[in-house]
Amino acid sequence: MDNSAKTQQNVVTMSDYQPHSGFAPLSLVEAYWDALSAGREMPKRAEIDPRGIESALEYAFILERVAPGVARMRIAGSHLHDIMGMEARGMPLTAFFLQDVRIRIAGLLEEVFQTPATAEVRMICDGEPGEPALDARMVLLPLKSDLGDVSRILGCFVCQGKLGDVPRRFDVTDIKVRKLGHSADIQEEPKSADVTQFQGFAEQQSSFVSAKSFADISDDTADNNKRPPYLKLVKSE
């Protein structure tokens, strides 16, 4: 991301929000997205400035649509690394979910990209011996690429509770979708997905690159053994 002086207008003051209080990072990221939209359907990927969501960076991520129902993490905060117990950058979003709900998440991603729409997802991870139960929430907010197509998502993933043994994978308890340009929220009920469209959806794991600053959008390959403990905010003078 370009943190030069010309992007100063992308830094939105969020002083009314208390950082890291429960699921507050979700509201902060969504409010930042709303402020950047400024009456438009959605902002562009290039407009996202990490300084606008500084207190929520560890929970934030950016997805890129690479195929129908498949979106991989281009940028991922340290909280997502902790949940998976490994580098999350490069993973498909579905890697965070149980096998039984991955088709449902694939369909949700397409709805966010194609409608377009925003989505709020509530999740649980059942506890087992040595693994406490977890409560989690996620928001998905579409972004336009420089070419004008909707192929990016700004997201925020917050999990409450002690992680225990990782990786932890989640089940979906509730999804709310809001079509852009419509005031009413749409409650999604469990429905059968088009299985033929997403058959073979489970993907092989690829080698992951090291985490970089949230402000870095380079695709250069890095050393996997040098993952920093958290994302660093880069400010230009």
Q: How many CB atoms within 10 Å of residue 128?
A: 10
Residue predicted with more confidence, 91 or 166: 91
Q: Is the pLDDT of residue 42 over 50?
A: yes
Q: What is the mean predicted confidence (pLDDT) over 92-121? A: 97
Q: What is the mean predicted confidence (pLDDT) over 71-95? A: 96
Q: What is the mean predicted confidence (pLDDT) over 80-86? A: 96
The whole-number pLDDT of residue 129 equals: 73
Q: What is the mean predicted confidence (pLDDT) over 103-110? A: 98
Q: What is d(CA 180, CA 191) in angstroms, rounded to the nearest whole number? A: 22
- pLDDT band per the 50, 70, 90 thresholds, residue 164: confident
Number of helical (H) and strand (E) elements in the chain, helices listed first: 4, 7
Q: What is the mean predicted confidence (pLDDT) over 120-145? A: 91
Q: Are 169 and 96 in contact (CB under 8 A)?
A: yes
Residue predicted with more confidence, 187 or 99: 99
Q: What is d(CA 93, CA 62) in angstroms, rounded to the nearest whole number? A: 10
- pLDDT band per the 50, 70, 90 thresholds, residue 132: confident
The whole-number pLDDT of residue 193 equals: 40
**Model pTM?**
0.72
Q: What is the mean predicted confidence (pLDDT) over 141-168? A: 94
Please give the C-alpha separations between residue 64 and each of 12, 17, 140, 228, in angstroms, as whole numbers: 24, 28, 12, 22
Q: What is the mean predicted confidence (pLDDT) over 1-19? A: 47
Residue predicted with more confidence, 4 or 93: 93
Question: What is residue 142's three-state secondary structure?
Answer: strand
Q: Is the pLDDT of residue 231 over 80?
A: no
Q: What is d(CA 160, CA 22) in angstroms, rounded to the nearest whole number? A: 8
Q: Is the pLDDT of residue 181 over 50?
A: yes
Q: Are 43 and 80 in contact (CB under 8 A)?
A: no
Please give the C-alpha separations between residue 148 and each of 64, 130, 137, 144, 188, in angstroms, as whole numbers: 14, 47, 29, 5, 28
Q: Which tens digits make up the pLDDT trace of 183-228?
A: 444 555 444 344 334 443 334 444 433 444 444 434 443 444 444 4
Q: What is d(CA 156, CA 30) in angstroms, rounded to the nearest whole number? A: 9
The whole-number pLDDT of residue 128 equals: 75
Q: Is the pLDDT of residue 180 over 90?
A: yes
Q: How many CB atoms within 10 Å of residue 18?
A: 11
- pLDDT band per the 50, 70, 90 thresholds, residue 165: confident
Nearest Cα to 53, choosing from 39, 40, 34, 38? 34
Q: What is the mean predicted confidence (pLDDT) over 103-107? A: 98
- pLDDT band per the 50, 70, 90 thresholds, residue 139: very high
What domains does the chain contain, in order, with CATH numbers? 20-196 (3.30.450.20)
